[in-house]
Structure formats: C-alpha cells, structure tokens
Structure 1
Amino acid sequence: MMRSPEEQQIIDRYVMRPKWTIMSKRADFAEIGRKFGIDPVVARVITNRGICGDDNINMYLNGGADLLHDPGLMKDLPEGCRIVMDKLENGSRIRIISDYDVDGVTSNYILLLGLRKVWAQIHGARPEECEIVDYDIPHRIHDGYGIKNRLIDAAKADGVDTIITCDNGIAAFEQIKYAKTIGMTVIVTDHHQVPYQENGDGTKTYTLPPADAVIDNQRVDCQYPFKGLCGAGVACKFIQYLYRLCGIDEREIQEFFEVLGLATNCDMMDLVDENRIFVKYALESLKDSRNPGLNALMRLSGKNEKKITTYDLGFLIGPCINAAGRLGDARTSLEFLLEKNAAKAETKAAELIQINNDRKSMTENGVKLITKMLEDATIAGEIGDTATLADHVIVAYIPDVHESVVGIIASKLKEAYSRPVMIFTDSEHAGILKGSGRSIESYNMYEHLSRVKSYFREFGGHAMAAGFSIESSRLGELRRVLNEQCALTDEDITPKVRIDVGMPLQYLARQSMRITEQLYLLEPYGKGNRKALFGQANVPVRKASILGKNRNLLKLVLDIGENQYMEAIYFDPDEFVNNIKQWFGADECDKMLNGRPNKVVIDMVYYPEINEFRNTRNVQIRLERYDKCD
C-alpha cells in the first residue's frame, strides 16, 4: 500500500524505529570457554541468554533426556495418575478432551496413546485392543475454547466415567462443577494461568476448578522446577509417571518427544530448560519420522531429510495441523496423527496442506484490511471508538473475517507495530464478538485483562496471548479503559535489536569456521532463545549483486580491512537498493551495483552461517539489520 510522504510521516510518528543496543552482561567468558570448550564470544552469547552456573550451562549445551525433571514433583500429578490407574484396572471408560490447536491436539495424542499402552500393560493385551479410552475435541465455532457442558453430556451419554482435560480446564470452574454433580471423575491437565481475584492489598486469591486432581505447573503451590511446559509437556509428564506406576520403562516416553517438541515451539513456549531437549529431538526426528502422517507432511512440503529448523515447525508443519481446528474440525488433525496406513496418511497430509493454504490466504487478506483501517484512521486523526496507532494497546474490530484467524492477524500486527493487539470479529451469535490477543514482553496480557474481566463473557490465556468473547456494544469502552490503564511508554513499544557482541568481521574471519560451528550448539533458536546477533559499524560495501530466479537474493561483498573481503546475503534486494539510493544517491548506488569504487558504508547487524554447496563449506554473513552510518 503506497502512502504519500506526508501520510507516511504521520504513521512513522507512532511506529517506533528499532533501537540497537549491545548487551553488556558480565562473566568470566574465558573461563566458561575453557570449561566447555567454546570460544569466549560464544560464552558471552550464552551469558546474554541468562544462562549462568555450570549446571545450567551444561543443561543448555548438552541437555538430554537424562536431565529431565521428575514428574512426581508436579502438584496433584501422582494423585491423578493413581486415580487413572484404578480406572484402567477396573475397565472404567475414560475420555480425553483437549483444545483444538497444535498443543491441544498433540496433548490429546500423547494421552490417548499413553493411556492405551498402560491399559495394555495392565491387562496383558495390545494397545490397539483398548476400547475404554477415547477422545473428543471442542469445535472452535460451535463450542469455543475449552470443555463445555455439551461435551460433558455427550461423554455421560456414552457411558464415560472419567474425563481428562488437556491444554484446558484450569478456568472451567462451572463446567467441572457440573460434571461432578452428575457423578463424573475429572482430572485436569493444563498449563495456562490459574484464574485469580486481585485483592485490595495487591495480593491474589486463586480459584481452582473442583476436579479430582488439578495438574498445572502454573499453580503457586506446585513445586515442579520448570514453569515453561506447554500443555503437551504436562500431558507427557502425566504419562511418564503412569509408566513408572505400571512398570513400563520411562525412557519409552521419548516416542512422544517429536510431537511434544512441535507443540512446544508452536505454542510459543520459551526454548529453555526441558523445552530445548524436546525441540532438539523433534528437529532431528522429523527428518525421517516414524509417524506416517508427519513423514508424508514433511515429504510433501519438501523438507524430508533436509535440515529442519524451528521456523519449519512454527510456520510450515504446525500451521497445517492447526488449520483443521481453525477452519473445520480439529479431530481431522488428531486422526491424521493417529493414521497408520501410509497411503491414507499421505492423502490426509495433502488435505491439511490445502486447508492451511486457504487459511494463509484468509490471513493475508485480513492483515491487509485491518492494517489499512488502522493506518487510515491514524492519518485522519480519528478519535472515539476507532482504533488508531496512537493507542498503546490496539483493540480493533474487523468484519467478514473467519474468527479462527484473528489470533494470527493479531500476531502479525503485534510484530508490525510492537505493541499489544486484540482483534475481534463477529461470532455466530448476533451481538457477540470473539477475539484473540497477542502481547509484548512488557505487557502481561492475562493480568491486564483480569483487571477488566467484567467486560468479557469469557476470557483466558497467559502473559503473551489470550482468547475472549464480548458483547459488541462494550468493545469501544474496553478499548478506552485498557488504554487509560496502560502504563506502556514509548520506550516499551520501541522494538529492540539486541546485539550480543560488537564483533569485528576481521575477528570472525580469523575464527570463522570454529565460531560458526559452535554457534550451532546454541540452537534451537526461538522464543526465549533468540538467534545470536553480532554487529559492526562503518562497513564499506564494495559490490552488491541481485541474484535468484525471482531476483529475491542480494549478495554483498564487504570490505573488512587489510585487503580482506567477506560475502553477505540479504533477502530483500529492492528494500536495500531503495535505501541506498535514498541515503547515498542514485549514482553511488549504481556504482555499488556495478562493483565500482563507491561511498556506500553501513552499520550492520549480522549472523554467520555455514553455506554448503557442491561439497564445499564456507562461512557467509547473513545480514539481519543495517542502517546508514551516523
């Protein structure tokens, strides 16, 4: 969308330019390097991630299944497992009810296969012979998030004795109370924030649902040492303890790490502590998955046997599994994971890819529409109930968009404007809007929404994301109140580019292969463990070439001094060329593109990576950010 210079100036007034900062955490980097056999530069990066102490550094670099925490430390988990063991021994029917996203579907998958395996161990049978453990998943449109009375009534009608929730249930007080009144046993496994009431003195009174066991590592009375598990992580811990009780080797839990790592990444959990172990396992396992569905999905996506990254988990594989729950029935995705026939699995994988392609198109259209609405209102200087970029908390309504994609739209806008975003659209009930929110580090969305929960019909979530419904007549008031109460400063909504080390390219050139290979030890990168970034000022660009069939790759030749040069790549050639023309003039840009002496000098943020081509390995620079030298 092209804007006039005057219009763009108005928008730029509210969209903060990224601020570059060099991190300055202190430690004995040389000693850390000596102990763990890494370059001091790499030791500095680890320290910048808050990883301190030999045990934590060892867990970060070398963590494996032998370093996982004991599931027995989780509050109510041993009691919940003993209840379930009794039900399995006595042949009582058990139904697993999950959320409809990747975390929910994989949680259901882990509990379903794990419980059937335990049943088989108890009864000397095969897991596929188990008929007393089944599943259900709420429909996003008809049911909304979490367990509902309809699902409870359906379970009761089917003769189900026990319901186990996963990735939901912690906020379902009334629904679980209802299930108990009709004689059902209920086990909650969840990882979301426990609902609370904020008291006048600043303390919080937490409310747990009246289940027979409430297993949630977010409970304040839970002694489990890691609070960052996703719902599938809690489910996996539950099955691990059941294996312990019935005599199955606990190491067999590792068969679930593939889907657990996928859920961990897709649910935007911090990639620290145990989560690094799960995601590392998934990245390796998915190259040749034993799961027919996942194997077909990887093959059809062109990723089989290639290096798989957290980007692939979050933007390729995960969205395909998510898409069925967003646009249809999430049971489609669970059946896809459960499918044993390779041919049928491939057909289902192709269906999920197509559903996801439809979802991507809907999302792109929604992002364009809401971006135009926001920016037009900002330029016009509108006030009242209309969201603008003058708001530090964006609360916006978008018509004619499928409610299942509003969370993705909110995420895109949060990245674009670096502030909390809540997007609403029409539900199937007249006068009721459904929405989803995504937040930034300096704004705990769950806590802020808890303070205004009277505005919502329903809401739940955690610090970085939430889901909710509201009467349409109250939306404008909600926007006003949230912005009035918001204490975010311009500094808070300014994107931060955190540079780990101001490392001269000459130093990298001397140590290039060694440092770059060691940086791969820090993977997987993602939330809570961002990619290492390095910086250097005043780098002359000797030549720039636009390459690729679609002319979408820029290759730079950088002068690093002492008659040495390094190559760098960047993936937006048009943007780079336009900026160079603006900063240095068309003539200097033309000289750069033709490899002639020029005056183009940039400050740069970069990441070194190994490029392999025709059995030759060399280090190249990936340009992450750049700016004109001051």
Structure 2
Amino acid sequence: MQEKQWIYKEVPLVEKIKTLSKTINVSTPTACLLLQRSIDDFPKAKHFFRAGLQQLHDPFQMRDMHKAAERLTEAVQKGQKILFYGDYDVDGTTSVSLLSGFFRNQSVPFEFYIPDRYSEGYGLSDKAVTYIIQQNIDLVITLDCGIKAVEKIARAKAAGVDFIVCDHHTPGASLPPAFAVLDPKRRDCPYPYKELSGCGVGFKLLQAYCRLNRIDEREVFKYLDLVAISIASDIVPITGENRILARFGLQQINKEARVGIQALINIAGLRPPLSISGIVFGIGPRINAAGRIGHAKEAVHLLLSEEEAEAKSLAKSIDTKNEQRKDYDTNTTDEVLAMIEEFGLQNRKTTVLYNPDWHKGVIGIVASRCIERYYRPTIILTQSQGKITGSARSVENYDIYTAIEACEDLLEQYGGHKYAAGLTLDQGNLEAFALRFEEVVSQSITQDLLTPKIYIDLKLSLDQINPNFYQVVQQMAPFGPENMQPVFVSEGVIDSGYARVLKDRHLKLKVKQANGQQVLDAIGFNMAGFYPLVASGRPFQVCYSIEENTYNGRTSLQLMLRDIKG
C-alpha cells in the first residue's frame, strides 16, 4: 500500500476555542472544527448551521441576467420555438431536466437536445447547430456548455437563432456572440458566488424568470433535488450558495424524491437518508452511464418521468448500462496496471498508456483509478473516429492542463482544467507525446506532489466520541469539496482481539485505547494489508471519519478508517 502523508490542519488558539465553545454552547472539539472553517462567532455559526433559501443571492446580480430573463419571457409569450441544449454528463442532464420540468409544468412548449458522446463529443456540436437551423429554432439555452462555442454560436446567429449561454466553466479569450452569456466566472460578472454548477446557473435563470413574471419561486424550488445531484456529481465546492442549494435539495430527495430519482435509489439499493457521497457513488454514476454506454437523453427521460412503471423500466435500463460500465472500468483498469508492470513503468513520473480497444466512455474513470495505485499525472488513451483520444487526470496541486499545453504542437485539440482534461492526437504522434509529457512533468513536479496526503482536523481520544458529538458534526453537512467530512486521528490504539479480514480485502476490528473506556468498531476498505500490524498487539495510530452503522436493527458509531500507522 502506498504510504500517505498525514497533514494536520492548524489548531486555533486555546482561548479562541474556549470563547466560541461557550458562546454557542458546543464542545471544545466542535468549536475547533468550526474555527478551522473560519466560523468564529454566533452570527457566522447561525448562518452555517441554519442558512435558508432566503439567503440565496439575487439572480439579477449576474451579468446579462436581465437580458436573459427578458428574452426567455419574450420567447414564451410569442410562442417561439425554444430548445434546451445540455451536455451528456450529470450536470448537463440535470440542467436540461430542470428547465424541461419547470416549463412543462408551466405548459410552455420546448425541445431538448443532448449530444451523442461518441459521434458529436463535448459541448455544442456542428451537427446540433445544423439541426437547430433546419428546425427554425428561435431561442437556444445551452446548459453546462457553450462558453467556448464562439464559432458555432456565430454560425447559428447568422441564421437568426438567439442563444442564452448558461455555463460555469472558465471563458476563453472572447465570449460567444450570444444574446446573453450567464457565467459567474466571466471576468466582468459581479455575481458574489463563483462556484455554481451548470445546473445551478440554470436554476438562477429560472429564479430570475419567476421574479420577472411574478411566478411563485417555490415553483422552481421544487427542482432543488436536481441541483443537489449536479453539485454532488460535478465535484464543485460545497460552500456558500452551493451549500444551501445542496442542503435543501438533499432534504427534498430524502423527504419526497421525484419518481425517477426514487427509481434510481431503489435499483441502487441505497438506504435513506442520502448524503452527498450517496449521490456521488450511487446516483451520479448511473446517470452518467446512460451517456457513457448509450445515449444520455435516456437519463433526462428518467428524471422527467412521472409514471412509476416507466421510471422503473428506465432505471433498470440505466442500471444495466452502469453494470456494463463497471465491467469495462474494472477490466480496463486491470489491463492498465498490468501494462505498467509489464513495461517496467512503475518509477515514472507519469502514466500515459494507449489501447485502441478500450472503451471511450470509461477512460476518465480508469485514469482516476490508476492514480489510486500510482499517484501521478495520468493519461489513458483509446481510438475514436480514426484518431487517438484520451482523458487526463491529475494529482493534488499539479496543473495537468498546463503540462498538456506544453505538448500542444503534437495535439489536434485539447481542453479542460487543472485537474482533468481531454485531448486528441494523430497516431503518428503518440510516442513523441508520451515522451514529451513525461519530460514536462518530470521537470515541474516535486516528490511532495507525488505523495498522497490526508488532511486531519483534530487528534481525539476515543472517549471523546459519543452520539452527541457525532450529531453536531453531522449538522456541518452536506460535506464535499472545501467543507470535507472531518477527519480525526487517535493515538495509542490497540485492537481488542477481533481483527479480521473480510473478502480478502477489507479490515474489520474493534479498537480501544489503553487508558480509555470506549471500545469502537472500525472498518477499513481495501486495507487488509494492515492486518499483521493491528493483530500484533502493538499500539498504532488510526486516521478516520466517524459514521453510523446499522446492523440487525441496531445502530452504533463506527470509525471509517482512512489510514493506519505503526
């Protein structure tokens, strides 16, 4: 197992901890966790724990929002042809479902269009522009894409089509010539929160539309479940406005899930209440599988479904695709890891591997899986339409986009951001690209960046862990990027003699400290390699988060292990 570096977050001054603990009546460990998140007084704590929908920002603070809401209103009032265009991933399909569901309830006619991952690729496609022009569409709303589709939107505009771009990606050098461009990452956009998902930007457009047309905003709040799924699956920060949207969206899913989402929950065998991680690992991959193995419009039909029988059938179809996706994913990952061994590539600073038979829909997932074993910038490549195409994934704090950019003379096209990118190249450039990329990364990456890290909030004694502490920590949810689930370390831990290995992979034990009263269950997935250490009787350190485990009708706290050190 690859050794991980434990990095302890700064512990605030004792006086600050005591003051906040007394002010808001929480334990000192809880006060410390809050101070680490810059929550240092009662008003901030109240907003963090109790923020409501009334705290959402005014949508008209976003650049071009007045224009967008007015143009959409005009299209509705004049009965113009409206088309919602979304990408084929979770963010795109939830965005299209959001606008489609809302306007269906308003009895407004519309069409939607999701591009095919394989024949059209990401974003606004040439095929789609041709369709839009041929169908005499008056207004297109792009969702989770469009910010870089300058030439394609210009072509459609020349044919008389108006566009409202709803995107959250960083714009290029020039904005597309759309009627309105809604993107909080525009340099000239004063919107106070910059990290919305694509679906979140679509939600703000609907909020503005409701206000302009005096429609009760609760009509758009009905779709917060879709916004929450997009926030979780697109791995955007769960801070500020996203945290409010995710919190209320999760409440909706857990209280009264819409028919299509409930069908996914049932077929995935998920147990409510769902958390962000439940969506990330249970719901998101199934929605994504529709576009990876088939066509993503199936996911939209499921999310819009109002009939249980139809939803059940669509969920079953999507689940079958997800099982296929998992097979491709597992097999391809095994092949990649075998190639690293076979070709003696273990000590490289990068992984760049190609096989024309690998499935294009899983190569991004496979790149991430490889990083779990070989922690370094990784590019997995396959063949598509006569070219080599690939997905790149990076390690923390290393900009893989810049490294790829240094090889651009060998590439047909590329795009992405710091941690994930896509690229296309000619067959003849493959070897030169792999060598150049290894050279570029080797010159710019440090050994520290090649070591996986675990960020630890606090050291705890096991006796400090009790249901009350757990419940307060849970109120800090929803957890996700920039508001991660707290991670703790306990030292001088010994196994109570129950340590065992499950399914040859997982570690199960009961832990206690020499001078403590508390005995707690602990489980470490894929951590069987630590069994000799914990079974030796010698004390060790555990790094973990705290979770509830229900077994045979009994619920108890358990440690979800992240790492163990002797």
TM over 0.5: yes
Identity %: 28
Matches within 5 A, 1:27-426: 28-49=16-37, 56-117=44-105, 120=106, 127=107, 130-131=108-109, 133-195=110-172, 206-303=173-270, 306-377=272-343, 379=344, 388-426=345-383
| Pair 1:514-2:491 in alignment | no
Q: Which residue of 2 aligns with 1:626?
A: 564
Unaligned runs of 5+ in 1: 1-11, 121-126, 196-205, 380-387, 593-598
1:564 partner SS: coil
Q: 1:372 to 1:56 in 2, by over 3 A?
A: farther
Q: 1:80 to 1:446 in 2, by over 3 A?
A: farther
| Pair 1:537-2:504 in alignment | no
Q: Which amino acid aligns with 1:622?
A: M
Measured on the aligned residues, the alpha-carbon RMSD in Å equals 2.5
Q: Which amino acid aligns with 2:472?
A: Q
Q: Which residue of 2 aligns with 1:124?
A: none
Q: 1:34 to 1:218 in 2, by over 3 A?
A: same
8 A contact 1:149–1:178 mirrored in 2: no
8 A contact 1:92–1:161 mirrored in 2: yes
Q: Distance in 2 between matches of 1:559 and 1:412?
A: 33
| Pair 1:438-2:397 in alignment | no
Structure label with greater radius of gyration: 1
Q: Which amino acid aligns with 1:603?
A: Q
Q: Which residue of 1 aligns with 2:543?
A: 605
Q: Distance in 2 between matches of 1:445 and 1:253?
A: 38
Q: How big is the shift at 1:621?
A: 3.1
Q: Which moved more, 1:52-61 or 1:434-443?
A: 52-61
Q: How big is the shift at 1:258?
A: 0.3
Q: Distance in 2 between matches of 1:151 and 1:284?
A: 36
Q: How big is the shift at 1:557?
A: 3.5
8 A contact 1:553–1:569 mirrored in 2: no
TM-score by length of 1: 0.83
Q: Distance in 2 between matches of 1:463 and 1:56?
A: 31
Q: Distance in 2 between matches of 1:110 and 1:288?
A: 19
| Pair 1:556-2:509 in alignment | yes
Q: Distance in 1 between matches of 2:363 and 2:501?
A: 36
Q: 1:447 to 1:240 in 2, by over 3 A?
A: farther
Q: Distance in 2 between matches of 1:142 and 1:216?
A: 27
Unaligned runs of 5+ in 2: none
Q: Which residue of 2 aligns with 1:3?
A: none
Q: 1:69 to 1:614 in 2, by over 3 A?
A: same
1:609 partner SS: strand
Q: Distance in 1 between matches of 2:197 and 2:430?
A: 31
Q: Which residue of 2 aligns with 1:7?
A: none
Q: Which amino acid aligns with 2:81?
A: R
Q: Distance in 2 between matches of 1:103 and 1:362?
A: 23
Q: Which moved more, 1:349-358 or 1:56-65?
A: 56-65
Q: 1:75 to 1:52 in 2, by over 3 A?
A: farther
8 A contact 2:530–2:564 mirrored in 1: no
TM-score by length of 2: 0.92
Q: Distance in 2 between matches of 1:183 and 1:473?
A: 42
Q: How many residues are matched?
A: 562
1:543 partner SS: coil
Q: How big is the shift at 1:570?
A: 1.4
Q: How big is the shift at 1:250?
A: 1.9
